[in-house]
Amino acid sequence: MRTASRIIALCSSCLIFLALPVHAQPPSPHPVSVLEGLVVGVAEGDRLTVNSFGTEIPVRLYGIAAPQTAKVDKFTGWYKPGQPYAEDAFRALSIKVLHQQVKVVIHSTLLSKTDPTQVAVAVVYLDGRNINMEMLGDGWAWADGRFLSRVDHPRYMTAERIARNRKNGLWAQENPQPPWNFKPQIKIRPKQN
């Protein structure tokens, strides 16, 4: 009986997630879907993976953009440098949510040209705390006004402005560059034996 109810719950959550539109939509003040799960991975200061009933769902935090981390390909040897404070933002998000049970309020989904996996654009809550707003307030991300709804825009921009004024996190820099303007130069490193 327990197994059957778990299978039904898993199928329901997968159907809800898969029924979401494939292309990015303008943000809506009303969530598209809500799910709960365990954070099993953090990729960057604004990206994580949630396991909900056995399905791993990549999540991009709605309304914020954290500094880009460095990327290294061990096989080809190419290296793409990251931004200042990227590792700090990654660590901050990891400390907040990794291996924690969270609620994910999905606003839209994205589909990359190079990767067929859908990414949920969502607000992540842990024990009632809005993690997206915490990352802004702690100074680990920019408010990304390009994708915020009219309802959320003032709150997110205000949280960023307060962090800026207090010089929290990345705002300790004189003139931090937002990730959407960051154009790193890919370098080739010789393979190490």
Segment 153-168, tens digit of pLDDT = 999 999 999 999 999 9
Domain hosting 138: range is 33-174
Domain contains 119: yes
Taking 3-state DSSP, the helix, strand and coil percentages for the chain, each rounded to the nearest 5, stand at 30, 30, 40
Domain contains 154: yes
Residue 20, SS3 per DSSP: coil
Domain contains 4: no
Domain contains 20: no
Question: Side-chain half-sphere of 173: how many Cα atoms within 13 Å?
Answer: 14
Q: Which whole number is the average pLDDT over 104-110?
A: 92
pLDDT at 25 over 70: no
Q: How far is CA 134 from the centre of its chain?
A: 13
Domain contains 101: yes
| Total domains, the chain | 1
Segment 58-75, tens digit of pLDDT = 999 999 999 999 888 777
Burial of 102 (0-12, 13-18, 19+ CB in 10 A): buried
**The CATH number of the domain where 142 resides is what?**
2.40.50.90
Domain contains 159: yes
